[in-house]
Amino acid sequence: MCGIFVYVGTRNGIRIAIDGLKKVEYRGYDSAGIAFIEKGKIVCKKAVGKLKNLEEKLGDETATTVIAHTRWATHGKPTEENAHPILDAKGSVAVIHNGIIENYMQLREELEREGVKFRTETDTEVISNLIATVYKGDLLKAVQEMMPLIKGAWAIAVIHKDHPDECIVAKNSAPLVLGIGVGETFAASDPNALVHHTREVIYLSDGEVARIRPQGAELFDAEHLPISKQVEQIKHSVEEFSKGQFEHYTLKEIYEQPQAMRNAMLSRFFEDYGTVALDDLFLKPAELLAVKRIVIVAAGTSLHAGMIARYMLEEISRIPTSIEIASEFRYRNPIVEDGTLVIAISQSGETADTIAAVRELKAKGATIIALCNVQGTTLTRDADYTFFLRAGPEIGVCSTKAFTSQLTVLALFSLMMARLRHMSKLEGKEFLIALEAVPEQIETVLAQAMAIQHLADKYAHLNDFFFIGRRYMYPTCLEAALKLKEISYINANGYAAGELKHGPIALLNPHCPTFALCADQVTYDKIISNVLEAKARHSPIIALAFNDDERLHTIANDLILIPKTRDEFAPILASVVCQLFAYFCAKKRGADIDQPRNLAKSVTVE
Ligand code: M6R
């Protein structure tokens, strides 16, 4: 869960590498470093903390082959020593690494027995030392020889003091993409980092190695045989990767939701027939009808999208659905019966827990559909079918537009399954008409941003919050609480409102507000009772309800109204309110919104 950027060319690569690192900094930001070769020696510059600390350490150095890294610590504290690049004991080889070497302890002990002195606590140091040990003048060969010795998920870039014009990159279960320029070649953890330099990219597959030089990349498969791979084009525009007029990526991405949702729906439904045709789903209607059970696996925000989808899939498609926390599921011994369809949801497509759960399910014969925002990722390759979210790059660490796009695609999928079973054309049409109206309704919510900011200003000093809701609003509460925790560092609990009285109500007091999400028509009367229970315990009440609400204005201290929609789509509108609330609370508290502490965008470790 770190960011890699490599430049090999003829220009001064140091500035280019730093700019490239800024694009992958979301992947980890507790320390950063670069290495290059100067007069036959490896020079390494590192700094703890954000990238700007590294920038401050740089002078007027120049180099044409540069490896650069931004770290999210796994093995060893975020210190300068543990920051990458990591050199071998003799200082000949420098390695940057994303991922985890599972057998590093054993390898380290073996190397130590041979007299190798280790300087860091990282697992990466075994890589540089193994390469140095087997190196006999050919860096490519040394990396290829080292690769079978390490176990785990990793992507690496390696330079050697005697090879000033080349870098060897390789990967296994961690992302790495090559950028092909004119007289210069790049590698990065994310194609977004390359778009300023080239649109031509090659995605490396597991076990593949590339020797990159200014004139291009030579590729080799796991058997060391030369291969050629298709050069793909990055589709996103440069603007999609910039903050534009917004202060933070997170805010920009919140505001992009109407368009992201329209993109997610585009050409995927037929309103006249009240039905859906999802591209890339090549299952025949008979196969979809044979689905007896759906298992959704995901983590974090994607898990919450899955929880909301469960209500839809059971209610409108009438398919028994279970939702599984990926990190727990992988350690169960799941029962996969005939007719089990798995939906794996992941914005990044690189979440290690989700991928591991998918592999377990696939090995047991389940069909896997992935819901993913990023193309060419591990999850999309493992899955049988992928629905892309088309939300555009999500750079803020907290997931916003990917979440609402996930809900949109999941709503379409639920409708498709329902129409194949019992739902009438007319009901399908009504569902679609309501869904099509949501992007404009989000715009109405966004227009209330100032009021939501005032609300956040009023409450941001408090340290504990409850979000309560029922049915569709329950997972929406979990997501709202996650947003508030993640970016404003406020302790927030999401609760099924009916559970409040079973214990957590003891925590309510005048300094612990209850944010009640009441936009669920089926359970409206019930949640009003829960709100009254909270009010009786002197908890300030912030209520969110549909705009035809008649009761809450006399009960709540503060009331936010959202446009009326079907209960299935209320989570989308309520979530936009809660995202803005979390954003403005974080802003008021001076938190680092796009890169919250201790976090990283894609969690590629267990
Ligand atoms: O890329 P994924 O959707 O698989 O990521 C899963 C979680 O790590 C992610 O949703 C995380 O919870 C977000 N930072 C929440 O905003």
Mean of pLDDT values over 139-165: 96
Cα 347 to its chain centre, rounded Å, is 5
Could you tell me if the CB of 317 is within 6 A of ligand 1? Answer: no
Could you tell me if the CB of 602 is within 6 A of ligand 1? Answer: yes
159 vs 10, 55, 111, 131, 354, CA distance in Å?
16, 21, 20, 10, 32
pLDDT exceeds 80 at position 464: yes
- pLDDT number for residue 321: 97
354 vs 173, 324, 391, 598, CA distance in Å?
13, 10, 20, 20
Q: What is the average pLDDT value for the chain, to the nearest integer?
A: 94
Could you tell me if the CB of 354 is within 6 A of ligand 1? Answer: yes
How many A from CA of 249 to the centre of ligand 1?
Answer: 16
**Atom 4 in ligand 1: residue holding the nearest Cα:** 346
Mean of pLDDT values over 149-156: 93
For the chain, the structural domain boundaries read 3-234, 246-439, 449-589
- pLDDT number for residue 598: 83
Mean of pLDDT values over 64-89: 93
- pLDDT number for residue 381: 87
Instruction: Please state the atom number of ligand 1 nearest to the C-alpha of residue 300.
Output: 12
**Atom 7 in ligand 1: residue holding the nearest Cα:** 300
Question: How many Cα neighbours within 13 Å face the side chain of 417?
Answer: 26
CB 558 within 8 Å of CB 544: no
Mean of pLDDT values over 441-459: 97
How many A from CA of 410 to the centre of ligand 1?
Answer: 17
Q: HEC profile for 428-496? A: HHHHHHHHHHHHHHHHHHHCCHHHHHHHHHHHCCCCEEEEEECCCHHHHHHHHHHHHHHHHCCEEEEEE
Mean of pLDDT values over 202-217: 95
Confidence band for 417, pLDDT divided at 50, 70 and 90: very high
**Atom 16 in ligand 1: residue holding the nearest Cα:** 398
Residue 589: how many other CB atoms lie within 10 Å = 15
pLDDT exceeds 90 at position 54: yes
Instruction: Quick: pLDDT tens for 283-325.
Output: 888 889 999 999 999 999 999 999 999 999 999 999 999 999 9
Residues in the chain: 606
Reply yes or no: is the peptide bond before residue 85 cis, omega within 30 of 0. Answer: yes
Could you tell me if the CB of 595 is within 6 A of ligand 1? Answer: no
Could you tell me if the CB of 398 is within 6 A of ligand 1? Answer: yes
Confidence band for 153, pLDDT divided at 50, 70 and 90: confident
Q: What are phi and psi of 388, to 5 degrees?
A: -85, 145
C-alpha dihedral, 323 to 325 to 330 to 334, nearest 10°: -20
Q: What is the DSSP string of 41-86?
A: EEEEEEEESSHHHHHHH--S---SEEEEEEE--SSS-S-TTTSSSE
- pLDDT number for residue 329: 87
Instruction: Please state the atom number of ligand 1 nearest to the C-alpha of residue 483.
Output: 16
Instruction: Quick: pLDDT tens for 91-135.
Output: 999 999 998 899 999 999 999 999 999 999 999 999 999 999 999
Rg (C-alpha) for the chain, rounded Å, is 25
Mean of pLDDT values over 160-180: 95
- Cα of first residue to Cα of last residue in the chain, in angstroms, is 10
- pLDDT number for residue 601: 76
Positive or negative CA dihedral for 295, 297, 301, 302? Answer: negative
CB 389 within 8 Å of CB 347: yes
Positive or negative CA dihedral for 25, 27, 33, 35? Answer: negative
Our mutation pick for probing the ligand 1 site, out of 302, 329, 579, counting the most ligand atoms within 8 A of Cβ, is 302
Mean of pLDDT values over 232-260: 89
Q: Which fold is adopted by the domain 3-234?
A: Glutamine Phosphoribosylpyrophosphate, subunit 1, domain 1 (3.60.20)
Confidence band for 25, pLDDT divided at 50, 70 and 90: confident
The pair of structure tokens assigned to 373 is 């925002």
Could you tell me if the CB of 475 is within 6 A of ligand 1? Answer: no
CB 352 within 8 Å of CB 325: no
In percent, how much of the chain has pLDDT > 70?
A: 100
Instruction: Identify the DSSP state of 542.
Output: E
Could you tell me if the CB of 302 is within 6 A of ligand 1? Answer: yes
Is 3-234's fold the same as 449-589's?
A: no
- pLDDT number for residue 378: 86
Full-model pTM: 0.82
Could you tell me if the CB of 347 is within 6 A of ligand 1? Answer: yes
Mean of pLDDT values over 499-508: 91
44 is catalytic: no
2 is catalytic: yes
Of 23-37, 294-308, 416-430, 454-468, give the lowest mean pLDDT range: 23-37
53-81 b/e with 16+ CB inside 10 Å = b?
ebeeeeeeeebbbbbbbbbbbbbbeeebe
Our mutation pick for probing the ligand 1 site, out of 26, 301, 485, counting the most ligand atoms within 8 A of Cβ, is 301
Instruction: Quick: pLDDT tens for 347-368.
Output: 999 898 999 999 999 999 999 9
- pLDDT number for residue 555: 96
What residue type is assigned to position 549 of the chain?
Answer: D
- pLDDT number for residue 432: 97
pLDDT exceeds 80 at position 605: no
Mean of pLDDT values over 242-251: 91
Out of 2, 372, 398, 512, which one is annotated catalytic?
A: 2
Could you tell me if the CB of 327 is within 6 A of ligand 1? Answer: no
CATH homologous superfamily, domain 449-589: Glucose-6-phosphate isomerase like protein; domain 1 (3.40.50.10490)
Residue 414: how many other CB atoms lie within 10 Å = 26
Strand, coil or helix: what is 277? coil
Q: Does domain 246-439 have CATH number 3.40.50.10490?
A: yes
CB 46 within 8 Å of CB 95: no
Could you tell me if the CB of 374 is within 6 A of ligand 1? Answer: no
Mean of pLDDT values over 496-520: 94
How many A from CA of 55 to the centre of ligand 1?
Answer: 29
Degrees to nearest 5, angle at CA 244 with 17 and 460: 100
How many A from CA of 330 to the centre of ligand 1?
Answer: 17
Give the H or E element holding residue 186: strand 185-188
